[in-house]
Structure 1
Amino acid sequence: MREKTIDYILRATWQAVSRMYNEEASKFDGSMAIGFALLSIDKEEGTPSTAISSRMGMEATSLTRTLKTLEEKGLIIRKKNPDDGRGVLIYLTDLGKQMREQSKTTVLKFNEVVKQNISEEKLNHFIEVADVINDLITEKKIF
């Protein structure tokens, strides 16, 4: 392509970020999806499984696979929701809490390094542009 399109830049950047997180997570027998899922679970109170998918922007079927993986790795346990017998709360195990902290450290380091290399003004513009794009999509103003 002679000129990069906006969607190309977004996609290529996200793929690079995703690869970076997956490479880092693999050092701890994890993945980006596992890290983001752990960060979406309240470390003390537990979280309804339905809230995790919305926090992650993930389809329910993908979340089911991710939660199964988390459970198999001993990172979470599921308990019935005492306030809603139909629902399930997801709790972190001690190992899950440790991996959650590692994920948090990784995300904070990424943010720190980006902030060290991009001015606050440029970063604010980037956030504004991303917000406008998300609004245009949400409000179905493109298609």
Structure 2
Amino acid sequence: MTQTTSEPLPLDAQLCFSLYSTTIAINRLYKPMLDSLGVTYPQYLVLSTLWEKDGQTISAIADRLALEPSTITPLMKRLEAAGFVSRQRNPNDERQVQVFLTAKGKALRREASCLTDALLENSGLKVEEMIALNDQVQRLRGALGGKS
């Protein structure tokens, strides 16, 4: 798409706005389900990272989510207080804190599948279409210098 004038694009023609407003819509869809699970969306992202690989350090989780470790630490404290994770000093490097899922945190994974189901159902997209869209967004993020 080539813009030949110096006029700004209308909002709905701006990809950044489409992505932003879609993120808000997804968060609205997820909120009641996350509330019933007892977690916020950022906490869900942290748990998702641990469901991929348990026992990660705070820094590794922050890197995976493209956030600062100082942003992750308060989330971790709340997740630990709720019984979803436990934090332990790395015995090989006392400066590192590793995070492990508890039984309650592992069990939440099954319950959280309702999020994906709701997104698919409400989007009207087929699984293959959702995967293709996600791939495109990830390629864009990578091209713009984000983690791919």
For normalisation by structure 1, the TM-score amounts to: 0.76
Aligned to 2:26: 17
Q: Which runs of 4+ in 1 moved over 6 A?
A: none
Q: For the aligned residues, what is the CA RMSD?
A: 2.9
Question: Residue 59 of structure 1: CA displacement?
Answer: 2.1
Give, in angstroms, the shift of residue 133 of structure 1: 2.3
- Describe the SS at the equivalent of 1:27: helix
1:117 aligns with 2:125: yes
State the alpha-carbon separation in 2 of the partners of residues 128 and 44 from structure 1: 21
Structure 2 runs not aligned, ≥5 long: 1-9
1:7 aligns with 2:16: yes
Residues 136, 30 of structure 1: alpha-carbon distance in 2 compared, 3 angstrom cutoff: same
Distance 1:77 1:96 in 2: 10
Partner residue of 2:62? 53
- Identity %, equivalent residues: 21
Instruction: Calculate the TM-score normalised by the size of structure 2.
Output: 0.74
1:82-93 equivalences under 5 Å are 82-93=91-102
SS class of match (1:40):
helix
Pairwise CA distance, 1:29: 1.9
